[in-house]
Amino acid sequence: MKYHSLFNVYLQCDSSEEVFDYLHETLIDTITSFDYFVDWEKIYDHVSNLEMDLNLLNFLIGKNNIGERLSQLLKQYPSVVKTFPILIAVRNKSLKILEESPDDSHLVKEYFFKPKGTLTDEEIDDIVKFVNKSGLSEFFQNNLNASIVDYVMGVEVGLDTNARKNRHGTDMEKLVGKVLKNICEKNNYKYMEQATAKRLKSQWNYEVQVDKNRRRFDFAVLTNNNLYLFETNYYSGGGSKLKATAGEYQTIYDYLKAQDIKFIWITDGLGWETALRPLRETFDYIDYVLNLKMINCGLLSKILGMDK
pLDDT at residue 117 above 60? Answer: yes
Q: Is the pLDDT of residue 302 over 90?
A: yes
Q: In the predicted model, is pLDDT for residue 169 greater than 80? A: no
**pLDDT higher than 60, residue 308:** no
Q: Does domain 5-33+164-307 correspond to CATH entry 2.30.30.830? A: no
CA distances from 212 to 49, 97, 134 (A): 38, 38, 44
pLDDT at 179 > cutoff 80: yes
CA distances from 159 to 31, 50, 91, 113, 121 (A): 22, 16, 10, 19, 32
- For range 266-280, the mean pLDDT: 96
Fill in the amino acid letter for 33. S
Cα distances from 303 to residues 81, 134, 149, 229, in angstroms, run 56, 59, 52, 13
pLDDT, mean of residues 263-269: 97
What are the domain boundaries of the chain? 5-33+164-307, 40-161
- The mean pLDDT of 271-291, rounded to a whole number, is 96
In tens, the pLDDT along 199-232 reads: 999 999 999 998 887 899 999 999 988 999 999 9
- Residue 233: predicted pLDDT: 95
User: Model confidence at 307, in pLDDT bands (50, 70, 90)?
Assistant: low
